[in-house]
């Protein structure tokens, strides 16, 4: 059962999704093998300053690969992926990742139950030292990246995530792949983005390439603060990664989730006439409603009757701020991705105060 705070946020399966048939049933006892990662890097290690770190729910940026699935769990996930294959989309040229699948929690009960299972959520909460819940933007649960059909393209280009917390789970054994490495930048997202935007390559000595011992291992990270990619494959291979996102239930820090709507051109996989696109507005409104509700609950718990006028006003303003920002974003509507990037940068700056 998901945390009570988010239980009513996840919608039932919407049209036109149908469950795949013949998939295994997720069983945490048989399918999980949670083993703590050995190493971590803090946000400070990546060069973030105190102002930035104070605005995040955890000081940890990144963990070395942790075992998540048992051998049986890997086999069950692979069976499920085989059934999901017909749904994989190859995005048009210019999009960030070419082979991908979203809305998996509306297609596969196995993926849905894995992405929302309490054991993994508690494991991740413990690692980051903040209470997490499966992400309230449901399309951010169980996103999958697949090898592109054109080998020259990266599996996923340099970027930072639109969500605060997530993991990248290898569904294949990376040892079977020539290339297709998950990598991250040893620096801040702003610095990484600036280098890539100038058309320069990130120096090798500033790139970390975590070594995954096998399928079923995952890197847990604050994806919004870790600039990362997956390199091109040098030979055709079965490469599939599953990215599952979380929100922190500590809403005293600014929401790291970023949502903007983009026109079809550009690298963010916004494809017209797909359910994911049609559902994006309500999904964002539902996420914002959850966040506002959490903040209002906190106000009711914390605001005492002797609070003065200024304190009461500030408390209400803060509780309503995400709703007001979301309304502005919805009113702006779809924009070209370069404009969306600028809106994102401005909002990052604004939210850090």
Residue 319 CB, nearest approach to Fe ion (Å): 30
- Indicate the residue among 207 and 315 with the shorter CB distance to Fe ion: 207
Q: Residue 230 Cβ, how far from Fe ion at the closest point, in Å?
A: 9
Q: Which is nearer to Fe ion, 31 or 217 (CB)?
A: 217
Q: To the nearest whole angstrom, how small is the minimum distance from the Cβ of residue 223 to Fe ion?
A: 5
- The least CB distance from residue 148 to Fe ion, in Å, is 15
Question: Exposed, middle or buried: residue 85 (CB in 10 Å: 0-12, 13-18, 19+)?
Answer: exposed
CA distance 211 to 217: 10
Q: Of the ranges 10-18, 77-85, 158-166, 197-205, which one interacts with Fe ion (CB under 5 A)? A: 158-166
> Should residue 161 be labelled a site residue for Fe ion when binding is judged by CB under 5 A?
yes
Would you say 26 or 158 has its CB closer to Fe ion?
A: 158
What distance, in Å, lies between the first and last C-alpha atoms of the chain? 35
- Exposed e or buried b for every residue in 99-129, given b needs 16+ CB within 10 A? bbbbbbbbbbbbbbebbbbeebbebbbebbe
Q: Residue 191: is it exposed, middle or buried by C-beta count within 10 angstroms (0-12/13-18/19+)?
A: middle
Stretch that binds Fe ion, among 11-19, 32-40, 153-161, 305-313 (CB under 5 A): 153-161
322 is a site residue for Fe ion (CB under 5 A):
no
Q: How far is the CB of 88 from Fe ion (least distance, A)?
A: 17
Nearer to Fe ion, 123 or 167 (CB): 167
CB of 241 to Fe ion, least distance (A): 9
Looking at 68-76, 115-123, 127-135, 155-163, which segment touches Fe ion (CB under 5 A)? 155-163
Task: Output 161 or 294, the one with its CB closest to Fe ion.
Answer: 161
H helices of 34-149, in order, are: 50-54, 71-84, 109-115, 118-128
The kind and range of the H/E element at 93 are: none
Q: Which is nearer to Fe ion, 26 or 182 (CB)?
A: 182
Residues 139, 6: Cα–Cα separation, whole Å? 14
How many chain residues interact with Fe ion (CB under 5 A)?
A: 1
Report the alpha-carbon distance of residue 130 to residue 110 in Å, rounded.
26
Residues that bind Fe ion (CB under 5 A): 161
């Amino acid at each position: 059962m998901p945390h009570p705070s988010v239980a009513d946020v996840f919608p039932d399966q919407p049209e036109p999704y149908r469950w795949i048939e013949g998939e295994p049933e997720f069983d945490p006892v048989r399918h999980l093998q949670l083993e703590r990662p050995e190493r971590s890097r803090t946000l400070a290690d990546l060069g973030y300053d105190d102002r930035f770190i104070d605005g995040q729910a955890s000081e940890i940026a990144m963990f070395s690969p942790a075992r998540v699935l048992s051998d049986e769990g890997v086999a069950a996930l692979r069976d499920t992926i085989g059934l999901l294959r017909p749904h994989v989309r190859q995005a048009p040229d210019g999009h960030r990742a070419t082979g991908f699948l979203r809305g998996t929690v509306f297609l596969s009960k196995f993926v849905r139950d894995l992405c929302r299972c309490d054991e993994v959520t508690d494991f991740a909460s413990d690692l980051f030292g903040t209470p997490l819940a499966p992400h309230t933007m449901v399309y951010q649960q169980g996103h999958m990246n697949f090898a592109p059909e054109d080998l020259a393209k990266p599996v996923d280009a340099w970027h930072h995530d639109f969500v605060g917390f997530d993991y990248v789970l290898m569904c294949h054994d990376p040892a079977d792949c020539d290339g297709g490495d998950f990598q991250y930048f040893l620096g801040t997202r702003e610095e990484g983005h600036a280098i890539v935007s100038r058309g320069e390559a990130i120096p090798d000595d500033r790139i970390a390439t975590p070594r995954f011992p096998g399928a079923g291992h995952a890197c847990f990270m604050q994806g919004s603060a870790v600039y990362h990619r997956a390199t091109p494959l040098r030979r055709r291979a079965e490469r599939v990664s599953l990215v599952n996102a979380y929100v922190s239930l500590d809403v005293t820090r600014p929401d790291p989730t970023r949502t903007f709507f983009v026109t079809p051109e550009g690298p963010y996989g916004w494809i017209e006439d797909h359910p994911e696109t049609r559902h994006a507005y309500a999904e964002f409104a539902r996420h914002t409603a959850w966040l506002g509700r959490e903040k209002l609950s906190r106000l009711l718990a914390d605001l005492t009757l002797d609070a003065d006028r200024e304190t009461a006003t500030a408390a209400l303003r803060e509780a309503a701020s995400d709703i007001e920002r979301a309304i502005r974003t919805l009113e702006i509507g779809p924009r070209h991705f370069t404009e969306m990037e600028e809106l994102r940068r401005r909002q990052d700056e604004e939210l850090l105060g």
